[in-house]
Structure 1
Amino acid sequence: MAIQISSEILEGVVLSALKYDDLYGYALTQQVQSVFDISESTIYPVLRRLKKNKYLTTYDQPYQGRNRRYYQLTDLGRQRLNTIVNEWHDFYQKVNQALEDDNKDD
Protein backbone atom coordinates (compact mmCIF):
# COMPACT_ATOMS: atom_id res chain seq x y z
CA MET A 1 0.00 0.00 0.00
CA ALA A 2 1.43 3.38 -1.02
CA ILE A 3 -0.44 5.40 1.62
CA GLN A 4 1.78 6.16 4.60
CA ILE A 5 0.52 5.28 8.06
CA SER A 6 0.67 8.21 10.49
CA SER A 7 2.48 7.91 13.79
CA GLU A 8 -0.81 8.38 15.66
CA ILE A 9 -2.46 5.51 13.78
CA LEU A 10 0.60 3.34 14.36
CA GLU A 11 0.38 4.14 18.07
CA GLY A 12 -3.28 3.11 17.98
CA VAL A 13 -2.41 -0.17 16.25
CA VAL A 14 0.24 -0.95 18.88
CA LEU A 15 -2.07 -0.03 21.76
CA SER A 16 -4.84 -2.12 20.23
CA ALA A 17 -2.54 -5.13 19.93
CA LEU A 18 -2.02 -4.91 23.69
CA LYS A 19 -5.69 -4.47 24.54
CA TYR A 20 -6.23 -8.07 25.66
CA ASP A 21 -2.75 -9.52 26.27
CA ASP A 22 0.70 -8.36 27.26
CA LEU A 23 3.17 -9.08 24.48
CA TYR A 24 6.96 -9.16 24.27
CA GLY A 25 8.62 -6.99 21.66
CA TYR A 26 9.14 -9.56 18.91
CA ALA A 27 5.60 -10.98 19.19
CA LEU A 28 4.14 -7.49 19.15
CA THR A 29 6.22 -6.58 16.11
CA GLN A 30 5.07 -9.74 14.31
CA GLN A 31 1.44 -8.95 15.08
CA VAL A 32 1.70 -5.41 13.71
CA GLN A 33 3.67 -6.59 10.67
CA SER A 34 0.93 -9.11 9.87
CA VAL A 35 -1.27 -6.10 9.05
CA PHE A 36 1.16 -3.36 7.94
CA ASP A 37 4.40 -3.56 6.00
CA ILE A 38 6.66 -1.78 8.49
CA SER A 39 10.11 -2.57 9.78
CA GLU A 40 10.96 -3.73 13.26
CA SER A 41 13.04 -0.59 13.66
CA THR A 42 9.83 1.44 13.26
CA ILE A 43 8.05 -0.26 16.16
CA TYR A 44 10.60 0.20 18.94
CA PRO A 45 10.63 4.03 18.86
CA VAL A 46 6.83 3.91 19.04
CA LEU A 47 7.04 1.62 22.07
CA ARG A 48 9.54 3.94 23.78
CA ARG A 49 7.31 6.96 23.11
CA LEU A 50 4.21 5.17 24.40
CA LYS A 51 6.08 4.12 27.54
CA LYS A 52 7.44 7.64 28.07
CA ASN A 53 3.88 8.99 27.86
CA LYS A 54 2.76 6.38 30.42
CA TYR A 55 0.48 4.56 27.95
CA LEU A 56 2.52 1.38 28.47
CA THR A 57 4.53 -0.23 31.22
CA THR A 58 7.10 -2.97 30.84
CA TYR A 59 8.26 -5.94 32.82
CA ASP A 60 10.84 -8.63 32.14
CA GLN A 61 10.19 -12.34 32.29
CA PRO A 62 12.79 -15.09 31.89
CA TYR A 63 12.49 -17.31 28.84
CA GLN A 64 15.05 -20.00 27.93
CA GLY A 65 17.85 -18.31 29.84
CA ARG A 66 17.09 -14.83 28.55
CA ASN A 67 14.73 -12.07 29.57
CA ARG A 68 11.81 -11.05 27.43
CA ARG A 69 10.52 -7.53 27.85
CA TYR A 70 6.74 -7.51 27.94
CA TYR A 71 4.61 -4.47 27.18
CA GLN A 72 1.41 -3.87 29.11
CA LEU A 73 -1.33 -1.34 28.42
CA THR A 74 -2.05 1.11 31.26
CA ASP A 75 -5.39 2.72 32.07
CA LEU A 76 -4.07 5.91 30.49
CA GLY A 77 -3.12 3.83 27.44
CA ARG A 78 -6.68 2.49 27.19
CA GLN A 79 -7.98 6.06 27.29
CA ARG A 80 -5.51 7.05 24.58
CA LEU A 81 -6.59 4.08 22.45
CA ASN A 82 -10.25 5.11 22.80
CA THR A 83 -9.35 8.66 21.72
CA ILE A 84 -7.45 7.40 18.67
CA VAL A 85 -10.30 5.05 17.71
CA ASN A 86 -12.87 7.86 17.97
CA GLU A 87 -10.68 10.22 15.96
CA TRP A 88 -10.13 7.48 13.36
CA HIS A 89 -13.88 6.90 12.95
CA ASP A 90 -14.44 10.62 12.42
CA PHE A 91 -11.56 10.85 9.94
CA TYR A 92 -12.71 7.71 8.11
CA GLN A 93 -16.22 9.09 7.67
CA LYS A 94 -14.92 12.42 6.36
CA VAL A 95 -12.55 10.78 3.87
CA ASN A 96 -15.28 8.45 2.63
CA GLN A 97 -17.68 11.35 2.29
CA ALA A 98 -15.14 13.38 0.34
CA LEU A 99 -14.26 10.48 -1.95
CA GLU A 100 -17.89 9.54 -2.54
CA ASP A 101 -18.88 13.16 -3.22
CA ASP A 102 -15.98 13.45 -5.66
CA ASN A 103 -17.16 10.35 -7.52
CA LYS A 104 -20.70 11.76 -7.96
CA ASP A 105 -19.36 14.31 -10.46
CA ASP A 106 -18.18 11.58 -12.84
Structure 2
Amino acid sequence: MDAQLKRGFLETCVLATLERRESYGYQIVKDVPPLLGLTESTLYPLLKRLESAGCITVRSAEHNGRLRKYYRVTPAGAARIEEFLAEKSDVMSIYRYIEFAHGAAVPGAACDQGERND
Protein backbone atom coordinates (compact mmCIF):
# COMPACT_ATOMS: atom_id res chain seq x y z
CA MET A 1 0.00 0.00 0.00
CA ASP A 2 1.22 3.48 -0.85
CA ALA A 3 2.84 5.29 2.12
CA GLN A 4 0.74 8.42 1.65
CA LEU A 5 -2.45 6.38 1.58
CA LYS A 6 -1.39 4.56 4.76
CA ARG A 7 -0.85 7.85 6.57
CA GLY A 8 -4.37 8.87 5.69
CA PHE A 9 -5.78 5.77 7.39
CA LEU A 10 -3.52 5.70 10.46
CA GLU A 11 -5.24 8.46 12.43
CA THR A 12 -8.68 6.93 12.03
CA CYS A 13 -7.44 3.41 12.79
CA VAL A 14 -5.82 4.63 16.01
CA LEU A 15 -8.99 6.47 17.00
CA ALA A 16 -11.12 3.41 16.23
CA THR A 17 -8.78 1.24 18.30
CA LEU A 18 -9.13 3.63 21.23
CA GLU A 19 -12.88 3.82 20.79
CA ARG A 20 -13.07 0.08 21.48
CA ARG A 21 -11.09 0.42 24.71
CA GLU A 22 -8.57 2.57 26.53
CA SER A 23 -5.05 1.48 25.61
CA TYR A 24 -1.33 2.26 25.76
CA GLY A 25 1.22 2.74 23.00
CA TYR A 26 2.62 -0.75 22.56
CA GLN A 27 -0.84 -2.31 22.61
CA ILE A 28 -2.13 0.21 20.06
CA VAL A 29 0.71 -0.75 17.69
CA LYS A 30 -0.27 -4.42 18.09
CA ASP A 31 -3.99 -3.71 17.55
CA VAL A 32 -3.76 -1.56 14.41
CA PRO A 33 -3.79 -3.66 11.20
CA PRO A 34 -0.22 -4.73 10.31
CA LEU A 35 -0.80 -3.66 6.70
CA LEU A 36 -0.46 -0.04 7.87
CA GLY A 37 3.02 -0.66 9.30
CA LEU A 38 2.46 1.41 12.45
CA THR A 39 5.54 1.70 14.66
CA GLU A 40 5.94 3.30 18.06
CA SER A 41 8.08 6.05 16.51
CA THR A 42 5.17 6.91 14.21
CA LEU A 43 2.50 6.42 16.86
CA TYR A 44 3.66 8.79 19.60
CA PRO A 45 3.75 11.97 17.47
CA LEU A 46 0.32 10.98 16.13
CA LEU A 47 -1.02 10.54 19.67
CA LYS A 48 0.36 13.96 20.61
CA ARG A 49 -1.42 15.56 17.62
CA LEU A 50 -4.67 13.78 18.49
CA GLU A 51 -4.38 14.95 22.10
CA SER A 52 -3.71 18.54 21.01
CA ALA A 53 -6.76 18.38 18.74
CA GLY A 54 -8.93 17.18 21.64
CA CYS A 55 -9.57 13.79 20.02
CA ILE A 56 -8.06 11.73 22.83
CA THR A 57 -7.33 12.08 26.53
CA VAL A 58 -4.28 10.73 28.32
CA ARG A 59 -3.85 9.48 31.85
CA SER A 60 -0.84 8.00 33.58
CA ALA A 61 -1.07 4.95 35.83
CA GLU A 62 1.49 2.71 37.44
CA HIS A 63 1.93 -0.71 35.86
CA ASN A 64 4.54 -3.14 37.24
CA GLY A 65 6.29 -0.30 39.05
CA ARG A 66 6.46 2.00 36.02
CA LEU A 67 4.23 4.79 34.79
CA ARG A 68 2.30 3.95 31.66
CA LYS A 69 0.25 6.39 29.59
CA TYR A 70 -3.25 5.26 28.70
CA TYR A 71 -5.17 6.86 25.86
CA ARG A 72 -8.93 7.11 25.40
CA VAL A 73 -11.02 8.56 22.57
CA THR A 74 -13.13 11.66 23.28
CA PRO A 75 -16.44 12.66 21.70
CA ALA A 76 -14.44 14.81 19.26
CA GLY A 77 -12.37 11.76 18.31
CA ALA A 78 -15.52 9.68 17.83
CA ALA A 79 -16.87 12.46 15.59
CA ARG A 80 -13.71 12.22 13.44
CA ILE A 81 -14.35 8.51 12.98
CA GLU A 82 -17.93 9.27 11.92
CA GLU A 83 -16.69 11.91 9.44
CA PHE A 84 -14.25 9.40 7.98
CA LEU A 85 -16.98 6.77 7.61
CA ALA A 86 -19.31 9.30 6.01
CA GLU A 87 -16.72 9.77 3.25
CA LYS A 88 -16.66 6.05 2.47
CA SER A 89 -19.20 6.25 -0.36
CA ASP A 90 -17.27 9.12 -1.98
CA VAL A 91 -14.00 7.19 -1.74
CA MET A 92 -15.60 4.05 -3.16
CA SER A 93 -17.01 6.08 -6.07
CA ILE A 94 -13.51 7.34 -6.82
CA TYR A 95 -12.11 3.80 -6.74
CA ARG A 96 -14.88 2.59 -9.07
CA TYR A 97 -14.17 5.47 -11.45
CA ILE A 98 -10.44 4.68 -11.51
CA GLU A 99 -11.17 1.01 -12.19
CA PHE A 100 -13.62 1.98 -14.94
CA ALA A 101 -11.26 4.49 -16.52
CA HIS A 102 -8.42 1.97 -16.32
CA GLY A 103 -10.51 -0.52 -18.25
CA ALA A 104 -11.72 -2.87 -15.55
CA ALA A 105 -15.45 -3.34 -15.94
CA VAL A 106 -16.96 -2.57 -12.57
CA PRO A 107 -20.74 -2.64 -12.23
CA GLY A 108 -22.06 0.82 -11.45
CA ALA A 109 -18.85 2.65 -12.30
CA ALA A 110 -20.21 4.20 -15.49
CA CYS A 111 -23.32 5.29 -13.62
CA ASP A 112 -21.25 7.13 -11.00
CA GLN A 113 -19.52 9.36 -13.52
CA GLY A 114 -21.84 9.25 -16.51
CA GLU A 115 -21.28 7.17 -19.59
CA ARG A 116 -17.84 7.36 -21.12
CA ASN A 117 -17.83 9.00 -24.57
CA ASP A 118 -14.58 8.15 -26.33
Instruction: Look up the match of 1:99.
Output: 99
Distance 1:55 1:91 in 2: 23
Unaligned runs of 5+ in 2: 106-118
2:84 pairs with 1:84: yes
Deviation at 1:87, TM superposition (A): 2.0
RMSD, matched Cα? 1.9
Amino acid at match of 2:76: L
Query: Identity of counterpart residues, as a percentage?
Result: 28
Amino acid at match of 2:68: R
Instruction: Look up the match of 1:55.
Output: 55
User: What pairs up with 1:35-74 in 2 under 5 angstroms?
Assistant: 35-74=35-74
Q: TM-score normalized by structure 1? A: 0.84
Amino acid at match of 1:82: E
Name the SS of the counterpart of 1:19 in structure 2. helix
Deviation at 1:101, TM superposition (A): 3.7
Q: Deviations over 1:17-67 (max 9, x none)?
A: 111100011101121253422332111111100000000001112110011
Name the SS of the counterpart of 1:18 in structure 2. helix
Amino acid at match of 1:39: T
- Single out whichever of 59-68 and 46-55 deviates more from structure 2: 59-68
CA contact (8 A) 2:56 2:77 kept: yes
Higher relative contact order (CA 8 A, sep 6+): 1
CA contact (8 A) 2:18 2:72 kept: yes
2:10 pairs with 1:10: yes
Give the number of equivalent residue pairs.
Answer: 104
- Single out whichever of 5-14 and 43-52 deviates more from structure 2: 5-14
Name the SS of the counterpart of 1:61 in structure 2. strand
Deviation at 1:6, TM superposition (A): 4.8
Amino acid at match of 2:50: L
CA contact (8 A) 2:55 2:78 kept: yes
